[in-house]
Amino acid sequence: MKNNYIKNHKILVTGGAGFIGSNLCEALLALDNTVVCLDNFATGKSENIQHLLSNSNFKLVVGDIRNIDDCHKACNGVDFVLHEAALGSVPRSIEDPITTNDVNVSGFLNMLTAARDAKVKRFVYAASSSTYGDSKGLPKKEEIIGKPLSPYAITKYVNELYADIFHTTYGLDTIGLRYFNVFGRKQDPNGAYAAVIPKFVMQFMNHESPKINGDGEYSRDFTYIDNVVQMNLLAISTENSNALNQVYNVAFGERTTLNQLVLALQNELAKFDSKIADVAIEYGPNRVGDIPHSLASIEKAKSLLGYTPHYCIEKGLEEAVAWYWEHLRVIKANQ
């Protein structure tokens, strides 16, 4: 499938200095594409793209998607857009719904408008599994969603509605990718809104007890970054017209409880430091806005895009933990 990916095109990655965006920039450059990275570094990290700055096919545009002029500048001459820029985190959206809406809805609308004006061929955007809200059915299928449970979830659903309108009204082809609990290299372990896997890794490495929200039996479809990269490449490369203007789940298609996750992380990290095996696990209250269980159907992505995820959670955790062990040791040594 790799040989069928798009090459020698100009592609904009918004949020390109972030966790997912920087991995996409690397993959696109490896396929001989020209990459424009738009980022305001609110959550993106300069170290994620530092090694790319010397590449003549890589261009950094420091700007904010809330500024329409920045969006137009970044879209100039671009063939495809991979829109990753957003303010993630359910708790952050509950604490500050206005900023979350400004970035995720107003910023998204700016990017759609700039992409339309620049006549880009396709606009692929990061949607979210949070859109399923209070729907009870498992596995989650794209056509059946529930009521959103957080401001963040509302913004990501509104993105899907706007993308659909821009196709029907302006003829802009779009594809939405509903990410399910993505993890892997370059995911930030620091800050109040750190994702659970890098946060737990950092705590274990410091011999601190990770705290699980609830009894640990909530479950998620954890998805390794390379599966996400594959889906983005398929989304901009597909020549199947039936695959366009759709929304897809991006996941592996297996469910893991938080208890299973933390034990798997502990076992992987104990290979590097045996003392980690003795670290106790703590439990706290459930988090507001969290859904109990999440499991994706990936049949639609397999059928229309040829998606074949290669990384189960065990394989993904093995790679991610090895990367974190080396990366976080360097950070700690420099502190």
pLDDT tens-place string over residues 316-326: 999 999 999 99
Mean pLDDT of 250-257: 97
The pLDDT of residue 265 is above 90: yes
Return mean pLDDT, the chain: 95
155 inside domain:
yes
324 inside domain:
no
The pLDDT of residue 184 is above 50: yes
Q: How confident is the model at residue 329 (pLDDT cuts 50, 70, 90)?
A: confident
Nearest to 264 by CA among 191, 155, 147, 183: 183
**Count of the separate structural domains present in the chain:** 1
Host domain of residue 144: 8-181+224-253+298-311
63 inside domain:
yes
d(CA 37, CA 189): 23
50 inside domain:
yes
Q: Which residue has the higher pLDDT, 70 or 4?
A: 70
R_g over Cα of the chain: 19
204 inside domain:
no
Question: What predicted TM-score, i.e. pTM, was given to this entire model?
Answer: 0.95
CATH code, domain with 231? 3.40.50.720
Nearest to 207 by CA among 272, 258, 259: 272
The pLDDT of residue 40 is above 50: yes
Q: Which residues are catalytic?
A: 152
Mean pLDDT of 39-50: 96
Q: How confident is the model at residue 1 (pLDDT cuts 50, 70, 90)?
A: very low
152 inside domain:
yes
231 inside domain:
yes
Mean pLDDT of 181-208: 91
203 inside domain:
no
Task: State the pLDDT at residue 205.
Answer: 94
